[in-house]
Copies of this chain bind each other. A is one copy, B any other.
C-alpha cells in the first residue's frame, strides 16, 4: 500500500498544480473504462435492430444476453429465493464509515429522475417484460421537479388563476417547526381524488394502498417517485424553492420578460445547478482519489464519448442501493422505523427544510452491500434479481472484464468477508457463475469510497458521460445569456447542497452541517 499511497500523494500534487488538466485526464480515465455509446443492443432484440438503435423506450444493454449462465436458465441455479437471502440484513445495521443519509437521499433523487425503469402495475407479474422498458427522457432534466412532459410541466405551473405567474412553479406555504415555509401544492382533494388540474401528472408509485390521512400530504410534483420518502421529498422541495427564488431574481432583473421566459430561464439554471451538485458534491463524495472533480464541461464538447445518452438496464440495477437505508430515521428529534417514512410527507412538513437537511446530514448511512438490506425493502432485491434474469444479463465476471477490471478467479477475490465468500460458493459453485446483481453488492468496498469497485466504475462512466452531454452544457449554449446574469452567477458559485439550502430557508444555517460526508471522516492514505 506504500506505492498506492505515493501515487495518491502525487495525484494530489498534480491536481493542485494543474487542476483543469488533471480534471480532464481523470474524467477521461473514468469514462474510458468501457465501450462508448451508441450501444449496439437494447432490450428490444437480442441482435442489433433499428428498433433497438432508435426507440429509447427500450432500455439499452452494455453486454449481450447470455442464455448459458446457470442463473438465466428456465430452472435457474441458484433460485431467486436463495439469492435474496444474501441481501437480508443480519442482526444490527452495519453503518458506512463515510456517508451520511444525505448521500442516499441525493442518489435516489438523481436516479429516480433519470433511470426510470417501467414498473408493472401492483398486481402484475413481477417478471413482466415491461421491466425491459423505461420512461426516461435520457437527460438529467430535473423531471421529478418539472415533470416528464410539456403537459406535466404546464400543470405544475398553472394550477390556479394566481399561479403560473412570473415563472414560478405552483406552491403553497405551510407551517413547520421553523415557521412558514414553501412546499409544493397537494395532489389530492379532500375526498382523496386527484385534483383535476393535476390529472396530467404520473400517479405516485405505491399510492393505491395509502391511507387517506397520509394521502392528503402527497405533493403534486413532477416525479412519480419523488414523494416516496422524506429525504427525497426534502430534496425536491429544495429545488422547487430554488426555482422560485431564481424566478424572483430574474423577474426583478428583467421586468420586460414574460412569465414563460422567466420560467424557462430559471429552469435552465436549476438543471445546471443540479448537474454541478452531481459532479462537485456527489461524485466527489464517492471518488476514492484525493482530487476534486470540477463540472467544467468545455473539454466534453469535442470528446469522442459525447454521444446521445441511453439508459441501460445494467445501470438501472447497479443503482438499487437499498442497503444504504438504516432501520430507523430521525427527523426533528423523532425517531421513525424506516417503513413508517414511506410516502410520509407529514414528516417533511413538520420538520421543515433546514432541520430536515441537518437531520439527513447527522445520520450515518448504512453500508452498501450484501447482508444489509432492511426487511422492509427486501422484496425489492427480489425484483432486481428477477430483472437481471429476465434480461439474461451476462455474469458479474463478464462485466468486470468489460469495465477493465480483473475477472475474479476465486470467491475470496470477490469478497474478503468469509461469510460472503462462502455464501457465494455455496450458491454459485464457481466464481464465473455469479450473476451481475449479486456480484455488484458482494464485492469489497474501495478504500475511501462508499462503493464497491464495479459499481464505482459503472457509476463513474455513466455519471460523467451522461451528465456532460446535457445540451445546457454544450458548446453554444453554456454561456451567460442562456441563464441570465443571476442564473449564471448562481451556477458559478454553487458547489454544494448546503449553499442551496442556505438561500432557501427562513433562518441562517449558522454552523449546521449539511454534507454527504460524515464530519469525522478522514482520507486514508
Contacts and interface: CB of A to CB of B under 8 A. Distances in A.
Contact of A40 (B265, B304, B482): B482
B476 A137 contact: no
A216 interface: no
A301 interface: yes
A54 B471 contact: yes
B301 A304 contact: yes
B476 A35 contact: yes
A336 interface: no
A165 interface: no
Nearest to A473: B38
A264 interface: yes
A329 B38 CA distance: 44
Interface string A49-60: 111011100000
A307 interface: yes
Given A482-B40, A482-B48, A53 B264 contact: no
A155 to B, nearest CB: 15
Interface string A32-55: 000110111000010111110111
Contacts of A150: 51, 55
A274 to B, nearest CB: 12
Given A40-B482, A264-B45, A264-B49, A54 B477 contact: no
Given A40-B476, A50-B271, A55-B150, 5 more contacts: A38-B471, A39-B476, A47-B481, A49-B268, A308-B308
A137 B307 CA distance: 17
Interface in A410-445: none
A135 interface: no
Interface residues of A, number: 41
A524 interface: no
B475 A50 contact: no
A61 B10 CA distance: 48
22 contacts: A38-B471, A38-B474, A38-B475, A38-B477, A45-B264, A47-B264, A47-B265, A47-B481, A48-B477, A48-B482, A49-B264, A49-B265, A50-B141, A50-B268, A50-B271, A53-B477, A54-B137, A54-B471, A55-B150, A303-B304, A307-B474, A308-B308
A118 interface: no
Interface of A: 35-36, 38-40, 45, 47-51, 53-55, 137, 139, 141, 146, 150, 260-261, 264-265, 267-268, 271, 301-304, 306-308, 471-472, 474-477, 481-482
A433 B54 CA distance: 41
Contact of A264 (B51, B271, B304, B306): B51
A49 B146 CA distance: 13
A482 to B, nearest CB: 4
Contacts of A306: 304, 307
A438 to B, nearest CB: 27
Nearest to A301: B304
B54 A141 contact: yes
A485 to B, nearest CB: 14
A173 to B, nearest CB: 27
Nearest to A146: B50
A301 B35 CA distance: 12
Contacts of A476: 35-36, 38-40
Contacts of A137: 54
Contacts of A474: 38, 307
Nearest to A35: B476
Contacts of A47: 261, 264-265, 481-482
B260 A53 contact: no
A260 B47 CA distance: 11
A38 B53 CA distance: 20
A53 B472 contact: yes
